[in-house]
């Protein structure tokens, strides 16, 4: 399969690349790194990416930025990053990418634990994750041509605990390699409309 991996250099994405590159042609995509570059927050940049990379069999998105801030200090515009980047950036990968997807292609987006098990400063992350999980369930039933869409919702990764540990006290982190298996299930299996929870 030709697999487009957005966020390939990241903590999640590099583990997904290691897992999928054993069996597939993985095109590594990043904001500044990789074979191709894209800014998921900019629909014109997403379209330009697909015009460059051409048709594909699977797209994996392991990206998404949100604002982490105490709710008491948050105002309206503190939610914009999460909405434009992690939420609509990933939704637009489907809305634009479907034009370039081969029949039966899959889209795998990334949400995360915080809508299920919130932490302080995580209100925007929780909102966006919940929206992504809902979106894949609903979008899956309307996709034509055998197209599929799932989300992977990992808890915090062991490899991220160096910086994230103070925010995730009491959470049991999971190895990135275990998280990568959920992406393999989504890409290489047949399920659609699923949220694969890891951890």
Contacts of 36 (CB under 8 A, 6+ apart): 27, 28, 29, 49, 52, 53
Beta sheet of 101-110, edge-to-edge order: 36-37, 25-30, 2-6, 56-61, 101-110, 148-154, 195-198
Contact 92, 41 (CB under 8 A): no
As measured in angstroms, the least distance from the Cβ of 89 to ligand NAP is 6
Piece of the chain touching ligand NAP by CB under 6 A; list 28-36, 92-100, 140-148, 183-191? 28-36
Q: Which residues pair with 6 in a beta bridge?
A: 29, 61
Q: Does 197 bind ligand NAP (CB under 6 A)?
A: no
Convert residues 151-170 into a mask of x (bound to ligand NAP by CB under 6 A) and - (unbound): ---x-xx--x----------
Q: Does 47 bind ligand NAP (CB under 6 A)?
A: no
As measured in angstroms, the least distance from the Cβ of 159 to ligand NAP is 7
Task: Work out which of 16, 19, 50, 64 binds ligand NAP, going by CB under 6 A.
Answer: 64
As measured in angstroms, the least distance from the Cβ of 55 to ligand NAP is 20
Piece of the chain touching ligand NAP by CB under 6 A; list 60-68, 72-80, 142-150, 186-194? 60-68
Piece of the chain touching ligand NAP by CB under 6 A; list 2-10, 17-25, 73-81, 137-145? 2-10
Q: Does 30 bind ligand NAP (CB under 6 A)?
A: yes
Q: Which residues pair with 60 in a beta bridge?
A: 5, 108
Q: Which long-range contacts (CB under 8 A, 24 or more apart) does 25-31 make?
A: 25/1, 27/2, 27/3, 27/53, 27/56, 29/4, 29/5, 29/53, 30/6, 31/63
Q: Give the residue carrying structure tokens 């074979």.
A: 35
Q: At what angle do helices 176-188 and 11-20 cross, to 10 degrees?
A: 60
Q: Does 62 bind ligand NAP (CB under 6 A)?
A: yes
Q: Count the site residues for ligand NAP by CB under 6 A.
A: 28
As measured in angstroms, the least distance from the Cβ of 104 to ligand NAP is 25
Question: Given the DSSP bridges, would you call strands 56-61 and 101-110 parallel, antiparallel or unpaired?
Answer: parallel
Interface residues toward ligand NAP, by CB under 6 A: 6-13, 30-33, 38-41, 62-65, 85-86, 110, 112, 154, 156-157, 160
């Amino acid at each position: 399969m030709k697999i487009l991996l957005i966020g390939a250099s990241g903590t999640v994405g590099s583990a997904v690349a290691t897992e999928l590159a054993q069996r597939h042609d993985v095109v590594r995509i990043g904001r500044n790194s990789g074979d191709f570059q894209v800014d998921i927050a900019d629909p014109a940049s997403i379209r330009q990416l697909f015009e460059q990379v051409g048709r594909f069999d699977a797209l994996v998105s392991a990206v998404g930025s949100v604002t982490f801030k105490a709710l008491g200090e948050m105002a309206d515009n503190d939610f914009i990053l999460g909405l434009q980047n992690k939420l609509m950036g990933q939704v637009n990968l489907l809305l634009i990418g479907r034009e370039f997807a081969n029949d039966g292609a899959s889209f795998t987006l990334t949400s995360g634990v915080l809508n299920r098990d919130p932490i302080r400063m995580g209100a925007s992350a929780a909102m966006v994750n919940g929206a992504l999980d809902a979106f894949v369930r609903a979008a899956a039933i309307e996709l034509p041509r055998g197209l599929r869409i799932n989300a992977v919702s990992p808890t915090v990764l062991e490899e991220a605990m160096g910086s994230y540990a103070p925010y995730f006290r009491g959470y049991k982190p999971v190895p990135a390699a275990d998280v990568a298996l959920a992406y393999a299930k989504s890409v290489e299996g047949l399920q659609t409309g699923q949220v694969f929870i890891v951890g």
